[in-house]
Amino acid sequence: MEAVPETRVLDAAEKLLYGRGLQAVGMDAIRNESGVSLKRLYQLFPSKERLVEAYLRRRDVRWRASLAGYVDARPAEENRILAVFDWLESWFEEPGFRGCAFVNSFGELGATSEGVASAARDHADALKRYLAGLVDAEGHAAWLPEPLFLLMEGAITTAAISGSSAPAGQAREAARRLLDADEVADDEVKAP
């Protein structure tokens, strides 16, 4: 069964925009990659900005679902917060890894495109909420999601620049130390 034109366009947009960058890819390249006529492409997405925003919104849902699926599949006794960094490592090792699509897109168009800026902010906020849920489920302090998010973002950016998956392990170790420090602080508060 052939994919519907919108799906073909979004698949092509994700491949090209993530792989090459927003400004390096024109609508003609997306038309050629998707096999959808330029007229139909503009009916679906009246502007490149609208297409970029749709690509980012779809990527957000898929990216977070992949992360959550990996973390949820971990055994109950395994630390799910640290599993986030294990997932990052596997993502960093994928062919074509180019860092965070949201940071990259914001860097290219965030100052001039409220849609791109909004998609990037929404992705970050959703990721922080996800981390907050993991932190809460494991009984850790409510301040932890923000530094864990910063460790994730730092690892993603560093991995993209360095071409190495090692930043995931380094961020994992820093996260483990934060979690250990929180447990020690919690034990000290509970001590008589």
pLDDT along the chain (192 residues), means of 10: 87 97 96 96 95 97 98 92 98 97 94 93 98 96 97 98 98 97 68 50
187/102 Cα distance (integer angstroms): 38
Residue 172: CA count within 13 A, CB half-sphere: 16
- Distance between terminal CA atoms of the chain? 67
Its sign, for the CA torsion 45, 47, 52, 53, is: negative
**Alpha helices (runs of H) in 73-113, residue ranges in sequence order:** 80-92, 101-109
pLDDT at 110: 82
What per-residue confidence (pLDDT) applies to 50?
A: 95
Q: What is the pTM of this model?
A: 0.91
Q: What is the pLDDT of residue 185?
A: 67
Q: By CB neighbour count within 10 A (0-12 exposed, 13-18 middle, 19+ buried), where does 65 fall?
A: exposed
Predicted confidence at residue 61, as pLDDT, reads 97
